Amino acid sequence: MKVKTPDAFSKGKTPRFEESAKTALADTQLRRNLGKATKTIREKRKVVVEEMPDWEALREAGRSLKERTLRHLDEYLEQLEESVTRAGGHVHWARDADEANRIITSIVKSHEAEEIVKVKSIATDETKLNEHLEREGIHAFETDLAELIIQLAGETSSHILVPAIHKNRAEIRELFVRELGAEGLSDNPPDLANAARLYLRKKFLSAKVGVSGANFAAADTGTVCVVESEGNGRMCTTLPPVLVTLMGIEKVIPSWRDFEVFMQLLPRSSTAERMNPYTSFWTGVSESGDGPREFHLVLMDNGRTDVLADEIGRQTLNCIRCSACLNVCPVYERVGGHAYNSVYPGPIGAILTPQLVGIGKPGPDSLPYASSLCGACYEVCPVKINIPQVLIHLRGKVVRKKQDTGGLKSKLDPENVAMQAVAKVFSDPERFEQAQKLARIGQWPLARNGSIHRLPGRLAGWTETRDLRAVPEQSFREWWKTNRGTN
Amino acid sequence: MVEDEPGDELMAGASGKETILWRIRHGTRDVPENERPEDVPIERGYRTAGDAGRDEIVEQFAERAAEYKAAVRRVSESELPGAISEALKRRGVEKLVIPPNLPEEWIPEDVETLRDAARPRLTNEELDASDGVLTGCALAIAQTGTIVLDAGPAQGRRALTLLPDYHLCVVREEQITGLVPEAFARLEETVRDERRAITFISGPSATSDIELNRVEGVHGPRTLEVLIAG
């Protein structure tokens, strides 16, 4: 097995966003493919959202359903457990990723399976389930076409929805010829898809265990739902005699009826379709032998209760993983998913990742800064997560954490020192005007075309990752005095 | 781990469930003790019933299912057996999978039928080696061009409509609902009382994973044909 680069959920340290972004920006193919993908999906989404006269009402219903669920999450989870158990399923609780992986591995082992089939699940990417299984001698076959491509290539996803968007057809053909032994294959997309169909069909028919994630689970009926396009989700949740589903605890919804809201919001926001090709809903195990005879649902915390405990951050758990925020984000569109060093990229990843792994790690701590706060993500979010608000809130937490734990080094941190000096100046109007005049004189060796790329001395920390607008020739207050003012 | 989570000694004997529920209760301390879930208002201001007439609904379903690359044809009740036979011939189907309780008059005489029953059940290999499957449906949704299967009569268990490469589905006009919420309301009883699996199908299997080019058919049936009878 190839070793993947560590991300925020692996053991190792990850680079900061601005470092990874530089590498990503230099990759022209990635930028071209991403630009095309995000633009296409963005435009299609607009069309299918605008044809809905009640879109705003649906968003509000989605938001309030999530709010209700999160405020009473303990009750809903217990109800879900009861419903699934009543329907013949088994429910497991996993405090963290390790525990989730151990539970799943022991189920797989109890059926003496050496191979399993998997449908795309970000929760299992978060726990690094495949690597864990591999160490235990079990191979997990990813069955989503894009996931298969990146698994065969030993890479990681660059977009929640279209994970292999950074690869072109010639690369995929070469990969399939080499890894699947598909001789004489063309690089025509239908032929490539067919190669995957033939290869995976055998796996679907022989696998004893299937593993899936969950898009939603209704507490009142115990019905679990997987939304997909290719049919691999139906295969994994129907054919193997044993099904294991890993879901984050925030995926529970109150009742069956609430699917009517989320099944309208998700497909239009995600793939920009009125409805995705396939959606499977199952309730425990069937008495008539339709599908698996054994069903396990693993409910995983892994940092989610920490997010819940933060009253501003809590709304992050509304997320239904549609990826609409990625497609409208000017930052994501340019750097792509890899720069976020997390299974959750883009604006949602910038708020979800640092909260899940905890503030105080340099890589994830840099993510709340990966935004210009333009607010496009909030506007398209189908469950109304105020991403800019959470970003600012998290920036505050990152700074406070640095101040609290950093000791002398952080007290002398250039940005910190500069901020304290600026705070003093900004709090007094006279000092502020004096400073403006001084700055105008002082900046001439630094300013080029109205912006400053590099500040001197201790202030350099500020311009390491951003440009500064030069102080204008005349301030608004000065202009007012000359043109309108009397004093 | 939550900041003031009880220390290892206290949580040592706790199960995963106990710990997670404790963390949730601790994390939602801001929620008043006496607040019930129903106290958090849900604004259901969206449409739950359409005002379109029957003809309009049927027309919209036909249009939208076709947009998702399903081959759609409208026929009268009396034309139905002929249309089925014709579709199967055009496709070259020789071995046809038949779910339990499919109306007998739908089944052409000149195909080899693989009938699924509680016993004997068709094996996955038999299904895989078939040329196609003929089913009815539980209902359909005009707004999204979706066919809904509920593992009921004339549909059978899920594998039947998954492994064959061709799915011919008969939708009766009166089975078509207008909006998505109407469909979920109609399915509620089946799910609640009988716990049957529900499958939504909107066009054939598809992927856009390679350079965002849409390819019809990856793992499910690569061809979906719909006959609307009424």
Query: Residue A481 corresponds to which tokens in the numbers above?
Result: 């005095």
Is residue A79 domain-shared with residue A206, that is, in the same domain?
Answer: yes
Distance CA A60, CA B189 (A): 27
Is residue A444 domain-shared with residue A298, that is, in the same domain?
Answer: no
Q: Please say whether the beta carbons of A453 and A467 come within 8 A.
A: yes
Chain A residues whose beta carbon lies within 8 Å of the beta carbon of residue B157? 286, 288-291
Which pLDDT score, from 0 to 100, does residue A483 have?
Answer: 85
Chain B closest-CA separation from residue A186 CA (Å) = 13
Which pLDDT score, from 0 to 100, does residue A31 have?
Answer: 85
Is residue A87 domain-shared with residue A208, that is, in the same domain?
Answer: yes
Is residue A420 domain-shared with residue A284, that is, in the same domain?
Answer: no
Average pLDDT, chain B: 93
Which pLDDT score, from 0 to 100, does residue A36 have?
Answer: 87
Chain A closest-CA separation from residue B103 CA (Å) = 21
Is residue A284 domain-shared with residue A415, that is, in the same domain?
Answer: no
> Are the Cβ atoms of A309 and B26 closer than 8 angstroms?
yes
Residue ranges of A 242-301 with Cβ closer than 8 A to chain B = 249, 254, 256-257, 259-261, 263-264, 267, 271, 273-284, 286-291, 299, 301
* A293: in domain: yes
3-state secondary structure A325-349: HHHHCHHHHHHCCHHHCCCCCHHHH
Is residue A22 domain-shared with residue A141, that is, in the same domain?
Answer: yes
Question: Of A253, A286, A304, which residue is a domain's last?
Answer: A304
Chain A residues whose beta carbon lies within 8 Å of the beta carbon of residue B15? 93
Is residue A291 domain-shared with residue A423, that is, in the same domain?
Answer: no
User: Across the beta sheet with A468-469, what order do the strands follow?
Assistant: A447-448, A451-452, A468-469
Distance CA B77, CA B17 (A): 55
* A476: in domain: yes
Is residue A291 domain-shared with residue A416, that is, in the same domain?
Answer: no
* A379: in domain: no
Confidence class of residue A66 from pLDDT cuts 50, 70 and 90? very high
Question: Of A265, A286, A304, which residue is a domain's last?
Answer: A304
Choose between A411 and A117: higher pLDDT: A117
Average pLDDT, chain A: 91
DSSP-assigned letters across all residues of A64-112: HHHHHHHHTHHHHHHHHHHHHHHTT-EEEEESSHHHHHHHHHHHHHHTT
Is residue A300 domain-shared with residue A415, that is, in the same domain?
Answer: no
Q: Looking at the partner chain, which of B23, B128, B188 has a beta carbon nearest the beta carbon of A205?
A: B128
Question: Of A238, A270, A304, which residue is a domain's last?
Answer: A304
Q: Please say whether the beta carbons of B134 and B97 come within 8 A.
A: yes
Chain B closest-CA separation from residue A469 CA (Å) = 39
Out of A297-311, A473-487, B16-30, B65-79, which region has the weakest mean confidence (pLDDT)?
A473-487
Q: Which residues share a beta bridge with A298?
A: A92, A246
Q: Which residues share a beta bridge with A140?
A: A116
Is residue A286 domain-shared with residue A427, that is, in the same domain?
Answer: no
* A84: in domain: yes
Chain B residues whose beta carbon lies within 8 Å of the beta carbon of residue A193? 207, 210, 215, 217-218
Q: Looking at the partner chain, which of B27, B45, B144 has a beta carbon nearest the beta carbon of A305?
A: B27
Q: Is the pLDDT of residue A1 over 70?
A: no
For position A184, which CATH number holds? 3.40.50.10420
Chain B closest-CA separation from residue A95 CA (Å) = 6
Domains in chain B and their CATH numbers? 54-229 (3.40.50.10420)
For residue A461, count other CB atoms closer than 10 A to its CB: 16
* A157: in domain: yes
Predicted confidence (pLDDT) per residue in A330-368, tens digit? 999 999 888 999 999 999 999 999 999 999 999 999 999
Bridge-based pairing state of the strands A294-300 and A242-248: parallel
| B79 conformational bin, left if phi > 0, alpha if psi -120 to 50, beta if neither | alpha
Domain count, chain A: 2
Q: Please say whether the beta carbons of A143 and B205 come within 8 A.
A: no
* A95: in domain: yes
* A354: in domain: no
Average of pLDDT values for A39-50? 95
Q: Is B27 helix (H, G, I), strand (E, B) or coil?
A: helix
Parent domain of A425: 411-483
Average of pLDDT values for A93-118? 97
Chain B residues whose beta carbon lies within 8 Å of the beta carbon of residue A163? 209
Distance CA A104, CA A227 (A): 22
Out of A19-28, A398-407, B14-23, which region has the weakest mean confidence (pLDDT)?
A398-407
* A343: in domain: no
Give ∠ CA A233-A238-A243 in degrees, rounded to 5. Answer: 90
Distance CA B170, CA A429 (A): 77
Average of pLDDT values for B162-178? 97
Closest B-chain CA to A267: B144
Q: Is the pLDDT of residue A3 over 70?
A: no
Q: Which residues share a beta bridge with A225?
A: A216, A281
Which pLDDT score, from 0 to 100, does residue A368 have?
Answer: 97
Q: Is the pLDDT of residue A299 over 70?
A: yes
Is residue A59 domain-shared with residue A204, that is, in the same domain?
Answer: yes
Mutation pick from B209, B211, B223, B224 vs chain A, by most beta carbons of A within 10 Å, is: B209
